[in-house]
């Protein structure tokens, strides 16, 4: 089976490595253009999957947009049996989806039809889901609405961050992908139509979502911080300067104070009062500085007990 692989972020790395490791004929990798990085934006950083492909001698295409006669002709030359899409970042036109003889399948990091859209992992944590998973589905033009081929479930621990859950789901997705492709190859795959009445959506992350509202209860504040840890980071303000928070969990005990008030700082972290209860954070990133422990931040007079975040 000749597989054409589409993907860009870190989430796509384990599935691509699994395909290669299991001996699939990966006939090409489609990813986004190299990204300018650094202060001058003069250095180009290739997507992780491009680096893997080049190491393995696999051809790579990096269109700005995945469409056009020349691009489709290049895909036909690769002669894929099936396309696998993993967080590619663009909506594919019908001509591209239907090009392989077995069509196109997608790995989505939620239990569809729940959390369709761009940021399902962050949304699962922020919304307090106790369970999530991976869905292998057939791609259609509608957003994450194609029939489900395979689903794998996993609980979400109370203290798990976005980064930790993303890593687990990417590895689960890699295993599920291999199983789904085997079922498709054998003609034994069962496709289940999604129930659109149960669909929910996980919108693309914007800055307003990552703002910490200290008047919320400690459970909600902890979820917001964990949902954006390690990137882009949930942010708050101290003395008019922005600070990002990481490593949040509900604080033990009955300490209370005004919402946003720093109650204590020690080797375990910084405890901050919420509208109800308090949270402990283990790392902070003040604007213009490196990432610090709260004790390091306090030693540099960046924060003190009794000050209030807003």
What average pLDDT does the chain have? 96
**Mean pLDDT, range 177-202, rounded to an integer:** 97
Residues facing residue 237 across a β-bridge: 242
**Separation of alpha carbons 98 and 83, rounded Å:** 9
What is the rounded CA–CA span in Å between residue 27 and residue 292?
A: 45
Q: How far apart are the first and last CA of the chain?
A: 55
CB count within 10 Å of CB 238 equals 20
Q: Select the CATH number that applies to the domain covering 207-299 from these four: 3.10.25.10, 3.40.630.30, 3.40.50.300, 3.30.70.600.
A: 3.10.25.10
Over 80: is that where the pLDDT of 305 sits?
yes
State yes or no: pLDDT of 41 exceeds 90: no
pLDDT band with cut points at 50, 70 and 90 for residue 205: very high
User: What is the pLDDT averaged over residues 23-48?
Assistant: 91
The pTM of this model reads: 0.94
State percent of the chain over pLDDT 70. 99
pLDDT at 213 over 90: yes
pLDDT at residue 39 greater than cutoff 80: no
Q: What is the pLDDT of residue 19?
A: 98
pLDDT > 90? residue 252: no
Q: What's the pLDDT score for residue 46?
A: 94
Answer yes or no: same fold for 2-202 and 207-299: no
Beta bridge partners of 155: 131
Instruction: For residues 175-192, give the mean pLDDT.
Output: 97
Q: Where along the chain do its domains lie?
A: 2-202, 207-299
Contacts of 23 (CB under 8 A, 6+ apart): none
Mean pLDDT across 293-310: 96
Q: Confirm if 176 and 107 have CB atoms less than 8 A apart.
A: yes
CATH 3.40.50.170 fits 2-202, yes or no: yes
């Amino acid at each position: 089976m000749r597989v054409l692989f589409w993907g860009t972020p870190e989430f796509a790395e384990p599935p691509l490595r699994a395909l290669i490791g299991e001996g699939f004929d990966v006939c090409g990798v489609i990813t986004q253009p190299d990204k300018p990085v650094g202060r001058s934006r003069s250095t180009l950083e290739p997507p992780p999957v491009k680096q893997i492909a080049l190491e393995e001698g696999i051809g790579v295409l990096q269109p700005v947009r995945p469409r056009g006669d020349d691009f489709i002709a290049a895909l036909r030359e690769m002669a894929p049996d099936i396309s696998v899409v993993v967080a590619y970042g663009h909506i594919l036109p019908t001509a591209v989806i239907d090009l392989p003889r077995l069509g196109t399948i997608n790995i989505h990091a939620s239990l569809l039809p729940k959390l369709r859209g761009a940021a399902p992992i962050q949304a699962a944590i922020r919304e307090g889901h106790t369970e999530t998973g991976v869905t292998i589905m057939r791609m259609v033009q509608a957003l994450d609405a194609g029939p489900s081929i395979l689903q794998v479930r996993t609980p979400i621990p109370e203290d798990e961050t976005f980064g930790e859950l993303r890593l687990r789901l990417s590895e689960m997705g890699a295993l599920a992908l291999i199983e789904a492709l085997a079922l498709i190859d054998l003609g034994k795959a069962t496709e289940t139509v999604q129930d659109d009445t149960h669909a929910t959506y996980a919108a693309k992350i914007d800055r307003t979502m990552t703002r910490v509202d200290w008047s919320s209860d400690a459970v909600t504040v902890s979820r917001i911080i964990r949902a954006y840890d390690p990137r882009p980071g949930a942010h708050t303000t101290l003395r008019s300067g922005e600070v990002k928070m990481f490593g949040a969990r509900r604080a033990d005990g009955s300490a209370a104070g005004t919402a946003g008030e720093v109650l204590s700082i020690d080797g375990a972290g910084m405890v901050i009062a919420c509208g109800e209860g308090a949270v402990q954070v283990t790392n902070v990133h003040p604007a213009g500085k490196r990432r610090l422990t709260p004790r390091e931040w306090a030693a540099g007079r960046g924060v003190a007990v009794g000050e209030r975040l807003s």
